[in-house]
Structure 1
């Protein structure tokens, strides 16, 4: 009764699941009964990503198209209460500067992360600029400038620690995972990895990531966030499986003792799989 899912997230109490679909529908599901509670139609045709605010009422949707924006939606009314993104002084500014690369890459996004308190939004542009938006007033601070290779969409996964003080993101262009202090806007650490996806444990102390090396099997690794050089490999993929850009996901379970891996590409008629991996103590 609706289109393909492009994003989904649970509320903090796990009693509701919110899904956004390629046709623009936003569905709210009651998890215990597996019943559809509400459906809202939006203008977000195509691929859109979704996060839920800590109040379990508002959701954040990343729109498609140019320019891309982030919309705050009240799930009880279906109303868009805020739009986050670059402000243009005039249509002429947009038309003359942002309708072709490289500047068009400044208003397209490769990934984002909502802070745990719902007050900040970290974004990575198609040109690999990383910055922080204050959701209350739509102000923006740059953390990392754009890269030299425009339109690479290389920063494909981001996450805040539980306290919101640290931002972690992967960059497939420079082949590193970066750990930044948000307040000082400075890099604290990095580790070599071509990571399509990363995930932080609920307490923010452990990091899991994918890693692909040319002509070698992909791996899933985990390490303490403050000791990334102590990484342990949880899984080495079989030859018929590969990581999918913007598809593969690695997430900790709520107790932090296991990691779930999904969204792998399977070849040679191999069955697709979801892995649940134990995290070494």
Structure 2
């Protein structure tokens, strides 16, 4: 079938009610471009209402997670919506191929889709057909909401007029089944979608008709935690899903905003800016090869010459040749997961910190272990070299920071200033300031003497606890949750911190005051890194994205999407042309700067 001598229909890919959906190609372009055509019956709407609907879909299509409307057409019997073709797999197909979704995947689904629902609801559009088949995951991992053929413009008069039942019976809300869909009807359908993906049991079988209630939890292969991802309001995934599924509209979440507030996330969609500019960077390769038992990549670091990338996962360190993107060497020795690694400034030594309570120093040229630093009583989560390479700082879940003599492998001193686990440590480029971050929601700034003074005094007196010449300059407070990562700017004037509260804060080091708070991630910020010139900050989050920020304006300038699970770590190459991100999806992605645009 050829529509208006332009669009060649290839196959029927969906059908329901008064709408048929076809895969087609636009033959006016060469080579022909794939598209999706929805054929609507003229009996169900007027030409005026169809044009109004097309105008609304044109606006919605500017959102990156909604297909663009390419054209709207009409003949004697049908209306046609020509939409962008979204390459990927819908969630129903993924469920069939990969099995029931995990808690993590359901939480991330809500994080990804709720802002899209808010976007369409803010424009008075009710989708009316939220279901797994209408949510597509691109190859990049981004979720896209499709099939707006049954969507309608909400009006006050609609509350008084009943329409025909529209939507997929297994997923529609009770009021929608009576022809009176409201915004909360989409919320209900999203809840049904979630419990189907969690259980892989058809929704009709998850409802106990005799007792008039959902019994989805009885069909779980593994119980959904009552405390998993709990926020300050005390709501967890189980409670959130149950409230999404309330039969009564008054007891259900009323809006996407309300759900996100309960989840402890915020909507960052701005009406005036739909698409994030990410054309500066592209993924040039995905490095993989971890064992099936690995929990993913925990840390990455570029060598100072930019020729090698080191990565750490469960007990193993791999060195990657950045010319060939192949493994150069595999180093073992830790008995538990490697959580942090750092190169010395001359690139000769690699330090690795592990949950096995130790730090190992390795000769990179010989691929040999130099020594093991022992002294922490709990997992070591972060390690950093001083600029001169003679001192190592380590942060541990034993609530302490230790300074080590690289040459002797002995502890110089132990710093105790945090009430809870230490998550990250960083030296300023000048080497006289050390910052440490903690689960206690604070950052400690330590003034250190010169390396010469530290090493000489150690020779004379041995290890000190809270040495008088290692001064606690101050404690920075402001994050609402645990501080997970820290980094100094190259000039040492700014400290960046990422937190479990989903935010990044930039602090003025001299005054300890917050310069600005960066909002944009929808989940915990677990890693931050400055580019060598200090103009850009790179952040990684459990929301599966890497974001790039312009430091001078605090503007979000790019979002790098592609990981299928939480991003755990990020690093930037010495020439700032390459970004490496590691994830729980067991891959490392290399992102390359491909085009430089002006401010």
| Aligned match for 1:202, one of 537, 556, 574 | 574
Alpha-carbon separation, structure 1, partners of 2:376 and 2:499: 30
Q: Within 5 Å, give how 1:105-120 maps onto structure 2.
A: 106-120=480-494
Distance 1:219 1:25, change over 3 A: closer
Indicate whether 1:32 and 2:402 are aligned.
no
What does residue 430 of structure 2 align with? 55
Q: Taking structure 1 as reference, are residues 135 and 20 closer, same or farther at Cα in structure 2, changes over 3 Å only?
A: same
- SS of the counterpart of 1:190? strand
Does 1:160 pair with 2:555?
A: no
Structure having the higher Rg:
2
CA shift at 1:196, angstroms? Answer: 1.7
Q: Which runs of 5+ in 1 are unaligned?
A: 87-104, 229-281
- Residue 389 (structure 2) pairs with residue 19 (structure 1): no
Q: How far apart are residue 109 of structure 1 and its match?
A: 2.6
CA separation of 1:179 and 1:25: change in aligned 2, threshold 3 A: closer
Shift of 1:180: 1.3
Preserved CA contact (<8 Å) 1:193 1:212: no
Structure 1 position 179, deviation (Å): 1.2
Flag as ranges the 4+ runs of structure 1 deviating above 6 A.
none
Q: Matches of 1:138 and 1:107 in 2, distance apart?
A: 18
- Report the CA distance between 1:11 and its aligned residue: 0.8
Question: What are the equivalent positions in structure 2 for 1:1-281 lying under 5 Å apart?
Answer: 1-4=375-378, 5-65=380-440, 68-76=441-449, 77-86=469-478, 106-145=480-519, 152-153=523-524, 155-173=525-543, 175-194=544-563, 195-211=567-583, 218-226=586-594
Cα distance in 2 between the residues matched to 1:221 and 1:107: 28
Against the structure 1 CA distance between its residues 227 and 197, is the aligned structure 2 distance closer, same or farther, given a 3 Å change threshold?
A: farther
Matched-pair contact (CA < 8 Å) for 2:439–2:481? no
Q: CA deviation at 1:61?
A: 0.9
- Contact map agreement 2:433 2:448 (CA 8 A) in 1: yes
Cα pair distance change 1:80/1:190, threshold 3 Å: same
Q: Is the 8 A contact 2:423 2:484 kept in 1?
A: no
Query: Which runs of 5 or more residues in structure 2 are unaligned?
Result: 1-374, 450-468
Mapped to 1, the partners of 2:512 and 2:553 lie a distance apart of 20
- Distance across 2 between alignment mates of 1:212 and 1:8: 20
TM-score (structure 2 length as normaliser): 0.31
1:33-89 CA-to-partner distances (Å, cap 9, x unmatched) read: 323333444444423321112222321011332xx1111112341220122223xxx
How far is 1:143 from its partner? 4.9
- Does the 8 Å CA contact 2:499/2:526 hold for their aligned counterparts? no
Alignment partners' CA distance in 2, 1:18 and 1:110: 16
Distance 2:559 2:520 in 1: 18
Q: Per residue, is there more strand in 1 or in 2?
A: 1
CA contact (8 A) 2:425 2:486 kept: no
- The answer as to whether partners of 1:131 and 1:140 remain within 8 angstroms in 2 is yes
Aligned equivalents of 1:27 and 1:109: distance in 2? 19
Shift of 1:172: 3.0
RMSD: 2.6
- Report the 3-state secondary structure (helix = DSSP H, G, I; strand = E; otherwise coil) of the residue aligned with 1:82: strand
Tell me by how many angstroms 1:200 deviates. 0.7
How far has the Cα of 1:226 moved from its partner? 4.8
Considering Cα pairs closer than 8 Å and 6+ residues apart, tell me whether 1 or 2 has the greater RCO: 2
Given that 2:483 and 2:497 are in contact with CA atoms closer than 8 Å, whether structure 1 keeps it comes out as: yes
TM-score relative to the length of structure 1: 0.62
